[in-house]
């Protein structure tokens, strides 16, 4: 694994694999440009080195011709141009005459963005299947490859792993290096007390991370719907709250293995899932649905968070898409923001919640990779790192 600073990039034609997989609304406006902003450091560094820059990215999944209308990188080119205050040459294809012409005319400090690499998935899963010929083609476009797409680092696709087999030199960009600088110490040598906060919908999504982090953390605070499977495993009534019955045995096993797991002691409940008419309860009854952690739980979690030196958080504390049930998640943001701990958030929904609630700058690190950060913390080796 080479670092970008250790390569001579002066005047080179560099291909940067970025992660511009941003959410778009129905009018194709970018809802959250965090991933574009986070990629600027590597792009600016290459501009300073007088590079010719070719950007590759995917956006969403492309399964049919119609997807091409809503998954184009054109709106990203516009936003990137605004952020860099510089023209970006957007090529509306990944391969073909337009690309060849643009690459043959490219000059130092020019930036070319090719269309969504996954458009080629329609020609036989070429990008996502890491097709050899496509990998060679991507490699032929430049001299040096920089992988800066952390959100994709757990996948082996042509534009992030395949390409590195056929190009002379490859390295990791600043965004990926920053992610690794924050995330790797968590599984290697965290500062103690190390508090892990887990929430979100499903235990089943988080088994790997629970198993791995339980051995490293001092406390595991579990909120969100996930906590009801654990509470039920302890024989506590959770009413009609979301429970994964198939994972009760796993929860029992974890609870037996360790006393590091801290569970909610009160809940914001409703009678119907769509109701906003909530009440706080310590003990649920058969017809209650828990949609957020309650004030006593917030205080309980606070007492552990305030003792910590390292915090890793994944998964919202409640049904945060509804403002009424954002309180738990917001309070946890606020409590963490007042500590001096190293604080890291990973996970698509939790990172979005932290950013939307205005706490992005209060955390040491907000990961740009949901699945990627989880797989890294599960202890899996990630193909995009070993290029």
Which tokens in the block code for residue 178?
């920053």
Q: Does 347 bind ligand ADP (CB under 6 A)?
A: yes
Residue 279 belongs to what H/E stretch? strand 279-281
Which range in 36-44, 102-110, 112-120, 340-348 contacts Mg ion by CB under 5 A?
A: 340-348
Q: Are 198 and 211 in contact (CB under 8 A)?
A: no
Binding mask 105-144 for ligand ADP (x = CB under 6 A): ----------------------------------------
Q: Are 154 and 174 in contact (CB under 8 A)?
A: no
Does residue 200 carry a catalytic annotation? no
DSSP 24: B
Write down the residue that tokens 């929430």 correspond to.
199
In whole angstroms, how large is the CA radius of gyration of the chain? 23
Q: Does 321 bind ligand ADP (CB under 6 A)?
A: yes
Does residue 360 carry a catalytic annotation? no
- Calculate the alpha carbon distances from 258 to 188, 218, 222, 250, 365 in Å: 20, 10, 14, 13, 28
Work out the burial of residue 340: count CB atoms within 10 Å of its CB; fewer than 13 is exposed, 13-18 middle, 19 or more buried.
exposed
Which range in 69-77, 163-171, 184-192, 316-324 contacts ligand ADP by CB under 6 A?
A: 316-324
Which range in 8-16, 170-178, 297-305, 317-325 contacts ligand ADP by CB under 6 A?
A: 317-325
Write down the residue that tokens 């001096």 correspond to.
340
Does residue 348 carry a catalytic annotation? yes
Q: Does 349 bind ligand ADP (CB under 6 A)?
A: yes
Which tokens in the block code for residue 288?
């209650």
One residue of 21, 39, 308, 314 binding ligand ADP per CB under 6 A: 314
List CB contacts of 26: < 8 A, sequence separation 6 or more: none
Q: Which of residues 276-295 bind ligand ADP (CB under 6 A)?
A: 290-291
- β-pairing, 52-56 with 13-17? parallel
Minimum CB distance to ligand ADP smaller for 75 or for 318: 318
Which range in 80-88, 111-119, 344-352, 355-363 contacts ligand ADP by CB under 6 A?
A: 344-352
Q: Which of residues 205-224 bind ligand ADP (CB under 6 A)?
A: 205, 224
Nearest-approach distance from CB 314 to Mg ion, in angstroms: 9
Q: Does 239 bind ligand ADP (CB under 6 A)?
A: no
Which listed residue (41, 202, 281, 307) is catalytic? 202
Which tokens in the block code for residue 65?
């011709």
Q: How far is CA 165 from the centre of its chain?
A: 26
Residue 328 binding: pick among Mg ion, ligand ADP, none (C-beta 5-8 Å cut-off by kind)? none
Half-sphere exposure of 145 (CA within 13 A, CB side): 28
Minimum CB distance to Mg ion smaller for 75 or for 348: 348
Q: Does 369 bind ligand ADP (CB under 6 A)?
A: no
What is the per-residue burial (b if ≥16 Cβ within 10 Å, else e) of 34-52? bbbebbbbbbebbbebebb
Q: Does 348 bind Mg ion (CB under 5 A)?
A: yes
Which range in 30-38, 64-72, 91-99, 196-204 contacts ligand ADP by CB under 6 A?
A: 196-204
DSSP 60: S
Minimum CB distance to ligand ADP smaller for 194 or for 320: 320
Residue 151: asked if its preceding bond is cis (omega within 30°), the reply is no
Cα gap 99→287, rounded to integer Å: 60
Under rule CB under 5 A, how many of the chain's residues touch Mg ion? 2
Q: Does 151 bind Mg ion (CB under 5 A)?
A: no
Question: Active-site positions?
Answer: 35, 202, 348, 371
Applying CB under 6 A, which residues contact ligand ADP? 199-201, 205, 224-225, 242, 290-291, 314-316, 318-321, 347-350, 370
Applying CB under 5 A, which residues contact Mg ion? 348-349
């Amino acid at each position: 694994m080479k670092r970008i600073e250790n390569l001579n990039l002066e005047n080179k034609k560099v291909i940067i694999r970025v992660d511009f997989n941003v959410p778009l609304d129905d009018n194709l406006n970018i809802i959250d440009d965090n991933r574009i902003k986070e990629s600027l450091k590597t792009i600016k560094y290459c501009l300073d080195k007088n590079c010719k820059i070719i950007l590759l990215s995917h956006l969403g999944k492309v399964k049919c011709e119609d997807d091409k209308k809503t998954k184009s990188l054109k709106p990203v080119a516009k936003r990137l141009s605004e952020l860099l205050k510089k023209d970006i040459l957007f090529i509306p294809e990944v391969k073909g005459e337009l690309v060849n012409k643009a690459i043959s005319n490219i000059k130092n400090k020019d930036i070319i963005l090719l269309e969504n690499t996954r458009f080629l998935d329609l020609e036989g899963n070429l990008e996502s299947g890491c097709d050899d010929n496509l990998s060679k083609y991507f490699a032929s476009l430049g001299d040096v490859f920089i992988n800066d797409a952390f959100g994709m680092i757990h996948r082996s696709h042509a534009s992030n792993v395949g390409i590195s087999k056929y190009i002379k030199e490859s390295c990791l960009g600043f965004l990926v290096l920053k992610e690794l600088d924050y995330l790797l110490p968590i599984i290697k040598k965290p500062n103690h007390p190390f508090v892990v906060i887990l929430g979100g919908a499903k235990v089943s999504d988080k088994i790997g991370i629970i198993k791995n982090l339980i051995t490293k953390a001092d406390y595991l605070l579990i909120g969100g719907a996930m906590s009801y499977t654990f509470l039920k495993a302890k024989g506590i009534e959770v009413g009609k709250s979301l429970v994964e019955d198939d994972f009760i045995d796993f929860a029992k096993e974890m609870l037996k293995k360790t006393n590091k797991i801290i569970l909610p002691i009160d809940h914001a409940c409703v009678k119907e899932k769509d109701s906003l008419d909530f009440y706080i309860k310590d003990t649920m009854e058969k017809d209650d649905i828990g949609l957020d952690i309650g004030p006593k739980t917030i205080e309980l979690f606070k007492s552990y968070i305030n003792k910590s030196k390292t915090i890793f958080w994944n998964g919202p504390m409640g049904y945060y898409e509804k403002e009424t049930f954002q309180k738990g998640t917001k309070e946890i943001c606020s409590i963490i923001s007042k500590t001096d701990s190293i604080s890291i958030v990973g996970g698509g929904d939790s990172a979005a919640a932290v950013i939307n609630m205005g706490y992005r700058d209060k955390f040491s690190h907000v990961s740009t990779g949901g699945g990627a950060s989880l797989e890294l913390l599960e202890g899996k080796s990630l193909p995009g790192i070993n290029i």
